[in-house]
Structure formats: C-alpha cells, structure tokens
Amino acid sequence: MRRNTWIALAVFIVLGGVALYVRANPPAPDDDTPAFTPQPTLASFLGIAPADVVAIRILKLQTNESTSMERDDPGGWQILDPETPVELTNTTQIETAVAQVSNMRVLTAFETVPALGQIGLDTPDYIISLTLEDGEELEILVGATTPTGTGYYLQAGSDDPVAVGNGPVDSLLNLLHMPPILEPTPELEATQSP
C-alpha cells in the first residue's frame, strides 16, 4: 500500500475512536445550562362551550350597524337582524365563528392594566353580546388592534382587558360585515316535451 493510503486509514481510525469515546462518555451538563421549562398553557378567554351560546348580537358603535341571531331548536341558527329565512341562513359560518370564540385564548394579560383609552376600550369599536343557555349574557368590548396587528384588545364585562388573537374576533365580526346569508337557488322551470 502507498504511504497516502496508510495516512488516510490512520486518520479514519483515530476519528472513529474519538467518535466512539464521545458517544460513550457524553459531557455532563453545566449547572448554568437552563433546564427545559414548558410554556404555560394560554388561558381561555371566556371558558364556554360552543353549545352554550344560544344568541349573538354584534353592534358597530361608530355606524350603529348591528346584526343578531339565535340558535334554532333543530340545531340551526336564525338571523333576526336583518330578518332572514331559516333556509337561507348559513349555519356553518355561524357555528364556525361560535366554535372559534369559545376556544379563544388570552395572548396577553396585563400585570398593570393600561388606561382604557390606550387600548381602544374607552370607546370600543364593537360590542359583542353572547347569550348563554343558562340565560347569562356576556358583553365583550372590542378595542384597538394590538401593535403587531395580530390581535385585539377585549374586555368581558368588568374583567380586566386582555389581548387575544384576531382570528376568532374577525370570525365573529364577519357575521356583521359579511352576513351568513346563502344565495337563493333559482328554481328550474319545468320543461314540457313536445
């Protein structure tokens, strides 16, 4: 064998030995190495189940636009404002919004509550009222968007304000801006054969 081959073989054997030694004797962790700490679970904003919600009312304060709807006994929804026939109500859109809101998580809870004017809750943009199956009514004030634009500042009743993600809130607000009304299906005219 050539001299270069012997050198390459020797380097390969030394590297293999080092790899086996390091694998068999891993370094001990330093006392300063931070241990893994699991992230806290985000708190639920409302703590309700989707089936608990039996009525929704959304009011945009600046323009006084509003919509309201209530759960229909057979499992659907009826839009009351604007009055819409049950068969034209997009129940899926409403159910999706209710499910998202019931699972809404608090992104930021303030240690020191800021002035309500700083987060848009002194004169909120919207008021969302949810009526629950037991008759309780939850009033949610919707304030400004967060500085990153990924959430809203909300306040439920007399609770402290919090920041939540914008997805569930937008889902509810869309019930006002893009009402869950299906387009009527045109009835086909009966054709007579000759």
Please report whether residue 64 resides in a domain: yes
State both tokens at 83. Answer: 């009055």
- In angstroms, the CA 138 to CA 93 distance is 21
Please report whether residue 129 resides in a domain: yes
Please report whether residue 83 resides in a domain: yes
Please report whether residue 35 resides in a domain: no
**What is the overall mean pLDDT for the chain?**
83
Q: Which domain holds residue 93?
A: 50-177
Please report whether residue 100 resides in a domain: yes
Please report whether residue 4 resides in a domain: no
User: Which of 111, 113, 123, 99 has its CA nearest to residue 175?
Assistant: 99
pLDDT band at 24 (very low <50, low <70, confident <90, very high): confident
Please report whether residue 15 resides in a domain: no
pLDDT band at 171 (very low <50, low <70, confident <90, very high): very high
Q: Is 143 helix (H, G, I), strand (E, B) or coil?
A: strand
Per-residue pLDDT reduced to its tens digit, 79-109:
888 888 888 888 889 999 999 988 888 988 8
On the question of pLDDT at 153 being above 70, the answer is yes
Please report whether residue 9 resides in a domain: no
**Residue located via tokens 């009966």:** 190
- Residue 188: count other Cβ atoms within 10 Å of its Cβ: 6
Per-residue pLDDT reduced to its tens digit, 30-67:
554 344 444 455 788 888 889 899 999 999 999 999 99
CA 60 vs CA 51, 95, 98, 172: distances in Å? 25, 21, 18, 12
> How many domains is the chain partitioned into structurally?
1
Burial letters 163-180, b for 16+ CB under 10 A, else e: bbbbebbebbbebbeebb
